[in-house]
Amino acid sequence: MNKLRPQGGFTLIELMIVIIVIGVLAAIAYPSYVESVRKARRAQATADLAELAQNLERWHTINANYTTYVIPARLTRSPQQGAAFYNIAAVRAQNTFTLTATPVNNQTGDRCGNFTLNQAGTKGVSAASVGECW
C-alpha cells in the first residue's frame, strides 16, 4: 500500500526561478511606467500653459495689454485639481509675456525641466530638446 509515487507541487528551485523572472520583469517595467506617468504630467502642464496663453491673448485683444490680466489661481498650477506637479508663473509686459511651468514634488526629476511659452507661440524647455518634451 505504500507505493512510491511522485508528489505534486513545486520544488524550491522552480519557485526561485519564477521569483527571479518576476523580479527582472518588474525591474524593466517600473522605470517605463514612471516615465509614462511623467510624460502624462508633462502633457497636462503644456496644455495648461496653452490655456493660460489663450486667456492672455483674449485679454490682449480686448484691452491692448497683458499686464492688467489677473491670472486665476487655478491656472497657477498643473494639474488644476489634486496634487500639483508644476507651478506656473507669468512674466508680463505691455505687448509680451512668458509663461513658465516649473516641476515640483515628484516631477522634479523630470528630464525636460522647465517649460516656457511666450506670446509668439515659441515653446522652450530648460533641460532637453523641445521636440522630445512638447
The mean pLDDT value of the chain amounts to: 91
Number of domains in the chain: 1
Res 2 pLDDT > 60: no
Q: Is 6 within a domain?
A: no
Structural domain boundaries enclosing 77: 13-133
Cell numbers found for residue 45:
502642464
Q: Is 7 within a domain?
A: no
Q: Is 125 within a domain?
A: yes
CA–CA gap between residue 124 and residue 134 (Å, rounded):
8
Q: Is 76 within a domain?
A: yes
Judge whether 27 and 20 are in contact, CB under 8 Å. Answer: no
- Local structure of residue 109 (DSSP, 8 states): T
Q: Is 41 within a domain?
A: yes
109 — pLDDT class (breaks 50, 70, 90): confident
Contacts 24+ apart (CB under 8 A), 72-75: 75/48, 75/51
**Stretch 59-85: mean pLDDT:** 94
Judge whether 86 and 41 are in contact, CB under 8 Å. Answer: yes
Q: Is 1 within a domain?
A: no
Q: Is 3 within a domain?
A: no
